[in-house]
Amino acid sequence: MANRRLPAGANPADPALPDPTAMRPPPRGRKSPTVAQNRAQLTPDARRALIAQNAYLRAERRGFEPGHETEDWLAAEAETDALLKVGHGGSSQ
């Protein structure tokens, strides 16, 4: 890491100078427990609502042709569960 030079005559203790640590990005690491807890609190009703919305959109794209309701639901369920799994970071970490 390169050292930064202060301008000639500058006092490092001068409060007018910017704090070099203030420009550092936050440390990388695990996500905050709050974020992980919010994702984990998906209720069965909320999951069902996501699946229902996805199934509806699939039927809409088909022009609401009858006879494919179960197919739409199962495909929507698989897609929603896959998206939720990715949202949780995939396999257990």
The one-letter code for the residue type at 66 is P
Average pLDDT over all residues of the chain: 77
How sure is the predictor about 75, in pLDDT bands with cuts at 50, 70 and 90?
very high
The one-letter code for the residue type at 6 is L
Average pLDDT for 1-5? 58
For residue 89, what are the contacts with CB-CB under 8 A and spacing of at least 6?
none
pTM listed for this prediction: 0.52
The alpha-helical segments, DSSP class H, found in 1-93 are 33-40, 44-61, 69-87
Q: What is residue 42's predicted lDDT score, i.e. its pLDDT?
A: 85
How sure is the predictor about 16, in pLDDT bands with cuts at 50, 70 and 90?
low
pLDDT at 9 over 50: yes
Q: What is residue 93's predicted lDDT score, i.e. its pLDDT?
A: 45
Which has the higher per-residue pLDDT, 82 or 23? 82
